[in-house]
Structure formats: C-alpha cells, structure tokens
Structure 1
C-alpha cells in the first residue's frame, strides 16, 4: 500500500504530519528501508552526543532515539489490536513521562541499535502478515479514529520527522 492509497480517518491532523513527511511511498518498502538505514544513522552519532540537548528542558539525543522506539511499540500494539478486530478504545500515552523514565542516560549506541532492530523487525513481520482488508480495519486510540495502514505510515513518518529534528537541532 502506498501513502496515496491511504484513507485517513478524520480527524487525524496531528498525526497526518508524520504521513505527509513521507511523500509517496510504499509502506513495506519504507519499513524495510528505514530498517536498513536507521541503525547506521544511530551508529554515526558520537557517543558523547547521546547526552546532548540543544536547550534546557529539551530531550537528549538518547531520549529522542528511545522516544522513536517507544512510540513504534505503542503504534505497533495499536495496529495489532485493530487488526484482530478489537474495538476497545485505547488510551493515549504521555511521551513526556516516558522520556525521563526511559533510562536513556544509561544507554549505549549499541543497545539503542539492538532495541531498534528488534522492534522494527517485529513491526515488519506484523505488517507483512496484513492483507488489504486488514490494513483498512479501524479502531480508536487517543480518542481519535485510526486504521491499521495509517498506524504503519505514522510509524515511518514519526521516525523520519524525529531523525530530521536530530539532524537539524542536535547534530549540527
């Protein structure tokens, strides 16, 4: 499925930002390409930069990386629930609680890469199992309507969005 085939439930404007940053892409292809490239991006970051924040009260590089991984886990879980027909409305998650409680300050690049690879491989395996009908299944999370495909594109776009922020504000 391509982003141009996506039927985005309304209202998802906040998350649409993450879909729009991708342009026209195929979902499985983008999941795989990021799987190949993002570990190299993490590895290119100097170890001493992991604790860097560009302003007071902003997340560190390691916290941003863990935020990407944590968010993928949350979106993947939502996709699993909706794909299985679970109509239970799912709550949101408070990213501002996750970051300071992530233990990011104790993490090495290698451990971040290892965790990213495990999570993304799981996402790819899950999405490879979905047919077109399953990708259109809907559910509610964070009080917003979603479908399984939109969650997959948001996983990719969220990673790209934050990688861009890391490049522009942290890794100058």
Structure 2
C-alpha cells in the first residue's frame, strides 16, 4: 500500500500535506523505518533544548514531541474503529488543549523516547493486522471521511512534517 494509491476522497483536504510528507513508500515499511531515525533525532536534541520555544506563543520542543505522540494515538484509535466497521462519527480533538495538560516540560528525553517507542510499536502491531480490505475501510472523523490507509500515511507524514519544523525553527 502506497500513498499514491490513496484517493483524495479518503481524507479531509487538511491532511493532504501530511500524506504527501509521508513519501510514496510502502506504508508498513515507512512506519518501521521511521522508528530508528526518529529516535536518533530525539537523542540528538540537547536535554536543555527540550523546553525551548522559538516564539512565546509557540510550543516547546517537548510539547511538539508529545503532540506527535498524542496525535498518533488519536489516529491509531480512529484506524481501529474504522477497520472494525464502527460507523459512529468521531469528533475531532483540540490539540491546543492537549498541550498544557500533557505537562511535557516535566519530561526527560529518555521518557519521551520510551513513550514514542511504545506508541509506534502499537501502531505497527495494529496496522500489520489490516489486510487490503480493512485498509480501504473508512469512517467519519471531524466531519469528514477518512480511510484507514489514509490515517496510516497521516501518521507517517505528520511525524515527518513536525520533525522538519523542529529542525528548521527550533534546533538551528
């Protein structure tokens, strides 16, 4: 399953950039390959930069990381529901409300890495159970159609997108 196979009707246009940022590799390969490189990236961040923000109104490095973890969990949950033919429309989540509640500033780099590893392993385990039929299933999230396979590519692309922002704006 490749991102180029995902039709534009399978996701809200808001997610187009994330799906493009995933690249056009095989979904499971992209999910697996992202683990080691992202852990290496987190390890390269100096501990004293975790609470750095480049503007007062922006999240800190740690808050961006925890946002990625929270979003992956939400997208994973949506994928599970849709793959299991749950047709209950799902509401969105307000990411800006999650950030202060996450208390990311209290986290160590080691705890962030551990959490990321756990979440991605769970994502991989879940997506490995989906055959081509389940990957094509969809449901309603935030008032829009979203397929299981689109959610997988959003997970990959969302991570890539935020990693690039961290490199360009936070870690220069």
The normalised TM-score by structure 2 is 0.97
Pair 125,10 (structure 1): closer, same or farther in 2 beyond 3 Å: closer
Matched, 1:23 2:23: yes
Distance 2:54 2:84 in 1: 42
In the alignment, what sits opposite 2:56?
Answer: 56
> Are the equivalent residues in 1 in contact too, given 2:50–2:60 (CA < 8 A)?
yes
In the alignment, what sits opposite 1:90?
Answer: 90
Distance apart, 1:7 and its partner CA:
2.4
Q: How many residues align?
A: 172
In the alignment, what sits opposite 1:169?
Answer: 169
Distance apart, 1:4 and its partner CA:
1.4
Distance 2:11 2:105 in 1: 36
- Can you give the 5+ residue segments of structure 2 that lack an aligned partner in the other structure? none
Distance 1:168 1:67 in 2: 18
Distance 1:7 1:135 in 2: 12
Pairing 1:18-167 to 2, within 5 Å after superposition? 18-167=18-167
- Can you give the 5+ residue segments of structure 1 that lack an aligned partner in the other structure? none
Computed over aligned residues only, the root mean square deviation of the Cα atoms, in angstroms, reads 0.9
The normalised TM-score by structure 1 is 0.97
Pair 94,139 (structure 1): closer, same or farther in 2 beyond 3 Å: same
> Are the equivalent residues in 1 in contact too, given 2:11–2:147 (CA < 8 A)?
no
Q: Judge which range, 1-10 or 105-114, deviates more.
A: 1-10
Alpha-carbon displacement from aligned partner over 1:44-63 (angstroms, at most 9, x marks no partner): 10000000000011000000
Alpha-carbon displacement from aligned partner over 1:151-170 (angstroms, at most 9, x marks no partner): 00000000000000000000
SS in 2 for 1:24: coil
Distance apart, 1:71 and its partner CA:
0.1
Alpha-carbon displacement from aligned partner over 1:101-135 (angstroms, at most 9, x marks no partner): 10101000000000000000000000000000000
